[in-house]
Amino acid sequence: MPQLLPVPNPIVSHWLSEPHRLRDFRSTPELPSECDIIIIGSGMAGITTAYFLLHENPNPPNIVLLEARELCTGATGRNGGHSKVLLSTISRVVKDHGPGIATELQTMVQKINDTFKQIINEEKLDCEFELRRSHDVQLETPESEQLKQMYDEGCKAGHEWTKDVSWIGPEHVEQVTSIKGAKSAFSVPACSLWPYKFVSQLLSRLLERHPDHLNFQTNTPVTSVDLQVDTSSVVTTPRGTIKTQKVIFATNAYTSGLLPQFQDIIYPVRGMASHLVPKTPVRPHLSNTYNIDYGSAKGVDYLNPRPDGSIVVGGAKWTFPDRETWYKNSDDSKPFPSEVQSYWDGYMQRVFHGWENSGAFTERVWPGIQGYTPDSWPHVGRVPGTKSQWMLAGFNGGGNTMILKSAETVAKMIREDKEFGDVAREVGVLTLFGTSKERMRKKIEETLPRVDGDISIRVKYTEWDTNTQHVKH
């Protein structure tokens, strides 16, 4: 099997259509031979980890940031651009872990949205950031009834996660959400942004502020990371090797290409998103973001109205012709078949009241590669079995809502030489994110993601092979 690496020439998403001047930047023509920390990956995870490592640090480490392709051309450069918790995710968490963890999840996401705002303000980043609400809309009665029951029970019991969530019933839901045929909806807190602009401008600030401590190298795929007996690592690329004291894997879907023990534990899932543009902006403006649930036989679309009146919307997984087109598929250089992409043609006219005469057309459609995990949570912390390697990867369909606290956690672990359990509560990251051999031992019988960001799971325990450091198949 060929090594899992980002493929060359990915399709350009709407977000990447305004390339940043750092897109193919290299701080130095040659790679440094040594450094303190190597971060692999220039998506939101890699850049925000660099930020938290360097921020207000009187003794900044020497960091080399390596990116296989151009800056931020992975999932961060191709996603829906909103940050929120789906009610269906809360429902799953309540069922599996109890209402307290659901509240912790919602609190974490709220803190992440606050942190976005704080960094954007402090660093003066121009990335269309907006604090807003989001509608989770149900188009089928069973999903609507199940979620309502869970919400009612939570409200009655006074569970904290219900406090900033409101329900919109069948009588008014079409009027309130503008979605044709809606059965019900929930209103939840959210924020939206242009993720590529956030990442590229933040990197630009870091390079200006720390020219001697941050070295960025695009088009430099890491092909192996070899631990040495003295706990340093040698990182190999086609342009040479670098010796480093510490390595951080911010490689999301591609993590098992360098850490093969994560095969089947973090794996690529190909998604699709699009940019729809009305002939003239429709007024009043859609001010909420959306998740539109078409029922268990189909799935959920996610939709982000942009400030210029255009729409970024993705999902439509049920239109993918076969499993090979998306499951463990990491090719974002090829489009989905035209009959799949045509799902977006006339979408706004079909789905939203008031858009029938908008003339909205499909400006572009693009694929993107998500890193899925069997239990749907990312793996954050020290790479199990190592002393000097860390990871934050496997963000499923919700990296915007999970990365900032994961990055802060990894940076704090490194800066203060602590373990995940020592810092998780203080940072406010969900303890479920902690990576461990025990968690890796849990293996999925069948993982079929129903929707982006939410999967139905059945976990069984399998044996751990101590020789290969892999789950036994």
Closer residue to ligand FAD (CB): 138 or 200: 200
Listed ranges 34-42, 111-119, 122-130, 202-210: which one lies at the site for ligand FAD (CB under 6 A): 34-42
Rule CB under 6 A: say whether 257 interacts with ligand FAD: yes
Residues 395-424 that bind ligand FAD (CB under 6 A): 395, 397-401, 403
Two tokens at 365? 């459609």
Sign of CA dihedral 178, 183, 186, 191: negative
Q: State yes or no: residue 305 binds ligand FAD (CB under 6 A).
A: no
Site string for ligand FAD, 62-81 (x = CB under 6 A): ----xxxx---xxxx-xxxx
CA pair distance 256, 470, nearest whole angstrom: 11
10 touches ligand FAD by CB under 6 A: no
- Least Å distance between CB 172 and ligand FAD? 26
Size of the site for ligand FAD (CB under 6 A): 47
The correct pick among 44, 87, 108, 282 for binding ligand FAD (CB under 6 A) is 44
Please identify which residue in 179, 258, 414, 457 interacts with ligand FAD, judged by CB under 6 A.
258
Backbone angles phi, psi at 283, to 5 degrees: -125, 140
Paired with 389 in beta bridges are: 247
**3-state secondary structure (DSSP) of residue 92:** helix
Q: Phi, psi at residue 417, to the nearest 5°?
A: 50, 55
Sort strands 63-66 and 300-305 into parallel, antiparallel or unpaired: unpaired
Contact status: 40 vs ligand FAD (CB under 6 A): yes
Residue from 167, 194, 216, 254 that binds ligand FAD (CB under 6 A)?
254
SS3 265: coil
Cis preceding linkage at 284, omega within 30: yes
Show contacts with ligand FAD in window 140-169 (CB under 6 A). none
What's the half-sphere exposure (Cβ side, CA atoms, 13 Å) at 352? 29
- The distance of Cα 205 from the centroid of its chain, to the nearest Å, equals 22
The CB-of-50 to ligand FAD minimum distance in angstroms stands at 11
Give the 3-state secondary structure of residue 406. Answer: helix
Residue ranges in contact with ligand FAD by CB under 6 A = 5-6, 40-46, 66-69, 73-76, 78-83, 221-222, 250-252, 254, 257-258, 271, 273, 302, 314, 368-370, 393, 395, 397-401, 403, 452
